[in-house]
Amino acid sequence: MFKSPYPDVTIPNTSIYDYLFADLSDTELDGIAFIDGNSGTETSYRSLIAQINGVAGALAARGVGLETVVALLCPNTPAFGSVFHGILRAGAIVTTLNSLYTAEEIEKQLRDSKAEWFFTVSPLLSGVKTACAAVGIPDDHLIVMDGAEGHPSLRDLLTEAATPPVVKFDPATHIAVLPYSSGTTGKPKGVMLSHRNLVANVEQSRQMVSLKSSDRVLAFLPFFHIYGLTVLLNLAIKEHAALVTMPKFDFVEFLRVIQDHKCSFVFIAPPVAVGLAKHPLVEQHDLSSVRMVFSGAAPLDGQLAQAVAERINCQLKQGYGMTELSPVSQVIPQDRDDLPLDSVGFTIPNMECKLIDPMTGKEIPVPEDGVSEPGELVCKGPNVMLGYLGNDQATKDMIDKDGFLHTGDIATVDDRGVVTIVDRLKELIKYKGYQIAPAELEALLLTHPAIADAAVIGIPDAEGGEIPKAFVVLQAGKELNEDAVMSFVAEHVAPFKKVRKVKFVDAIPKSSSGKILRKDLKAAELL
C-alpha cells in the first residue's frame, strides 16, 4: 500500500455551502468571484452568496427539500454557480447534465435520477422541454434561467427575496451531486457524491494545487463534469480566486479571454495542449499572465507538456481522477519540478492506494528502488463515492469489501510514490477528455432494424486520443453503408459520442458467457 508524502488533512464535517461560504471576511466578500469571459461582467462573492441564498429560499418556498432531485443543464456562466450552490443550500440534490445531450439522453438521466425540477437556459430549451414532457416535469418546474415565456426565470426566483431554509443532514451520507459516469464499463450510472465527498476532495486537492486568491482561473472546462465542478468551481471558490467563464470552447476565444482578462491559472484537457504547443495564433496573443496550466480528464504526453510549458513560459502539471473519486486522487504538486510530466504525481492526502495484478489479484509491492510492475490502481479515502444510484451490484463490482475503489486503469508507482498511468483495463473510450461507454453505443446500434449485432471499441486518433469504431453485423438480406451507420448514431447521441469509423463483419467475437471480446477486436486492429 502507498499513501501521499503529504500529511493527512482535517476534513470539516459540514455541508459544501458552509465549507465554501460560511467564514468569508468583508475583504473576501468584496472580492471577485466570477467574470463573464464574453461581457466582462463581474460578480462579487457578496453578490454570489446573496444569489445562492435567494435561489435556496425560492426553491424551499416551492417545496424543494432534502430528497428532491433537481436537474441542471447549463453552460459555464456565473449563473451556474448561483444555481448549483443554491440547490445544495436548500438541501436538495443536483444532477448535472452534459450541454451536448440530445433530448433522448436527457430523458434517460431524468428517469434514472428521478429529477422533479429542472434548471436550464433558453438556447437548450427545445430538447429539455421534450425530455421534461416525457417524464412529467411540468412547465412551472422547468426554470429557464435567462427567461422564456411560460416558465419561471432566475430573475423571478431572486426577486422573491425568500429566506433560505434551515436544513439539517449528515454531510457524510446526504447526497449532494448525482453526476453520471460509466465507471469502468457499461451504461452511464448516477454517481452518489455526498457533501463530505465534495468537501474532502477540495480540502485534499488544495494541499497540492496551489491556487491563490489573486489568481484568475479560466473556466471553459464544463462545470457539469466533476473535473470542472470540483477542481475549477469549488476549489477556486474555496481559495477566493476569480473564475473567468467561457460557455463553450473556441481556441481563438480561449486565447483572447486569457489575454484580455489576464488569466493566471488555466485548466485544460490534453487536446487543448496540442493547440497551445503548435497553433500559430498563440504567438499573436499575450499569454504572459499564465503561471500554471493544469491538465486532466485524459493522459497527457510528457513531451507535449514540456512543449507547452516552454512555449508560453509557465509551469504545466497534470493529475488523475475519476467521477467516482470526486474526482482527484493523484496530482503533480506545483513545487515538484523534479517529477516526470507524463506521470500523474503523488497520491493526495487522506488516501490509501494499491496496485493489484489483474491476472492474479495479488498486491504488487512498492519497490525500494526504481519503478514497480504495472497493476490496476485501487484507491480508498473520504472522496470515494457512496455508490451508484439504484445499482448495488455495480457498486459492489466497483468498491471491494475493504473499501477500495477499482479504477480500471493500469499504473506503476516508483520508490518515491510517483504514480504513472500506463494502460487501461476498463472499456471506456476517452475522446478529447469525454467518456464514451461502448455498451451505450452498442445498445443504440442494435435498435437499427438492419443491424443484427454490433460492438464498439476505441481506436487511437492523433487529435482526439481515441475515437469510437463500430463493428457491425447486418441482418440477413439487409444493406447498409458506413455513412448510414454513422448518421444513425449521430441522430441519437451528443456529438462527442458519434461513431467515427465502421467495419462490417460476419460475427462479433464473444466469450462463452456472451461477453464481447473487445480485446480481440483491438488486437485485430493492430494486425
- What confidence tens digit (pLDDT) does each residue in 45-90 have? 999 999 999 999 999 999 999 999 999 999 999 999 999 999 999 9
**Domain limit, last residue, from 169, 189, 215:** 169
Q: What is the pTM of this model?
A: 0.87
Nearest to 2 by CA among 510, 445, 412: 412
| HSE-up of residue 38 (Cα within 13 Å, Cβ side) | 10
Report the pLDDT averaged over residues 491-512: 90
Q: Which of 143-152, 236-245, 402-411, 433-442 has the lowest mean pLDDT?
A: 433-442
Q: What pLDDT, on a 0 to 100 scale, did the predictor assign at position 76?
A: 96
Q: What pLDDT, on a 0 to 100 scale, did the predictor assign at position 520?
A: 85
Q: What pLDDT, on a 0 to 100 scale, did the predictor assign at position 182?
A: 72
Note whether residue 511 is domain-resident: yes
Q: Which of 95-99, 227-231, 437-441 has the lowest mean pLDDT?
A: 437-441
**425 has a pLDDT exceeding 80:** no
Mean residue pLDDT across the chain: 93
What domain range includes position 25?
14-169
At 412, is the pLDDT very low, low, confident or very high (cuts 50, 70, 90)?
very high
227 and 349 belong to one structural domain:
yes
> Which grid cell sits at 42?
463581474
Q: What pLDDT, on a 0 to 100 scale, did the predictor assign at position 436?
A: 86
Report d(CA 352, CA 405) in Å as an integer: 10
Note whether residue 4 is domain-resident: no
Note whether residue 292 is domain-resident: yes
Task: Say which residue, 455 or 14, is predicted with more confidence.
Answer: 14
225 and 163 belong to one structural domain:
no
**513 has a pLDDT exceeding 60:** no
> Which residue do the cell numbers 455526498 mark?
194
**Domain limit, last residue, from 402, 426, 450:** 426
Report d(CA 155, CA 184) in Å as an integer: 41
Question: Is 383 strand, coil or helix?
Answer: coil
Note whether residue 381 is domain-resident: yes
Question: Is 233 strand, coil or helix?
Answer: helix
241 and 342 belong to one structural domain:
yes
CATH number of the domain residue 505 falls in: 3.30.300.30
310 and 284 belong to one structural domain:
yes
461 and 403 belong to one structural domain:
no
391 and 436 belong to one structural domain:
no
Q: What is the pLDDT of residues 85-106, one digit of tens each?
A: 999 999 999 999 999 899 999 9
The answer to whether 348 and 4 have CB atoms below 8 angstroms apart is yes
Q: What pLDDT, on a 0 to 100 scale, did the predictor assign at position 36?
A: 97
Report the pLDDT averaged over residues 31-51: 97
**512 has a pLDDT exceeding 60:** no
Instruction: Write the DSSP string, 39-84.
Output: T--EEEHHHHHHHHHHHHHHHHHTT--TT-EEEE---S-HHHHHHH
Range ranked top by mean pLDDT from 350-359, 420-429, 446-455: 350-359
Report the pLDDT averaged over residues 376-390: 97
Q: What pLDDT, on a 0 to 100 scale, did the predictor assign at position 276?
A: 92
Report d(CA 303, CA 189) in Å as an integer: 35
Instruction: Write the DSSP string, 104-152.
Output: HHHHHHHHHHT--EEEE-GGGHHHHHHHHHHHT--GGGEEETT-BTTB-
Report d(CA 105, CA 100) in Å as an integer: 9
Report d(CA 241, CA 233) in Å as an integer: 10
Q: What pLDDT, on a 0 to 100 scale, did the predictor assign at position 511?
A: 61
Q: Which of 141-150, 311-320, 503-512 has the lowest mean pLDDT?
A: 503-512
Nearest to 88 by CA among 189, 195, 160: 195
Note whether residue 6 is domain-resident: no
Q: What is the pLDDT of residues 298-351, one digit of tens each?
A: 777 888 889 999 999 999 999 999 999 999 999 999 889 999 998 999 999 999
440 and 411 belong to one structural domain:
no
Question: Is 98 strand, coil or helix?
Answer: coil
130 and 225 belong to one structural domain:
no
356 and 498 belong to one structural domain:
no
Note whether residue 503 is domain-resident: yes
Note whether residue 395 is domain-resident: yes
The DSSP H or E segment spanning 33 is strand 32-36
Q: Return the DSSP state at 297.
A: S
CATH number of the domain residue 401 falls in: 3.40.50.12780
The DSSP H or E segment spanning 466 is strand 465-474
- In terms of phi and psi (left: phi > 0; alpha: psi -120 to 50; beta: otherwise), the region of 289 is alpha
At 138, is the pLDDT very low, low, confident or very high (cuts 50, 70, 90)?
very high
* Beta strand 189-194 pairing with 387-388: antiparallel
161 and 46 belong to one structural domain:
yes
**184 has a pLDDT exceeding 70:** no
33 and 83 belong to one structural domain:
yes
The answer to whether 499 and 485 have CB atoms below 8 angstroms apart is yes
The DSSP H or E segment spanning 254 is helix 251-261
Q: How many residues does the chain have?
A: 527
Strands (E), 296-366: 315-321, 328-331, 346-347, 352-356
**Domain limit, last residue, from 169, 189, 217:** 169
CATH number of the domain residue 146 falls in: 3.40.50.980
Torsion from C-alpha of 487, 488, 491, 495, nearest 10 degrees: -60
* Beta strand 216-219 pairing with 375-380: unpaired
| Domains identified in the chain, total number | 3
Note whether residue 362 is domain-resident: yes
219 and 300 belong to one structural domain:
yes
Report d(CA 478, CA 488) in Å as an integer: 15
Say which amino acid occupies 397. D
Q: Which residues on adjacent β-strands are paired with residue 330?
A: 320, 347
| HSE-up of residue 257 (Cα within 13 Å, Cβ side) | 26
Report d(CA 189, CA 385) in Å as an integer: 12
**What is the distance in angstroms between the CA of the first residue and the CA of the last residue of the chain?**
38
Q: What pLDDT, on a 0 to 100 scale, did the predictor assign at position 189?
A: 94
Q: What pLDDT, on a 0 to 100 scale, did the predictor assign at position 527?
A: 61
Q: Return the DSSP state at 373.
A: P
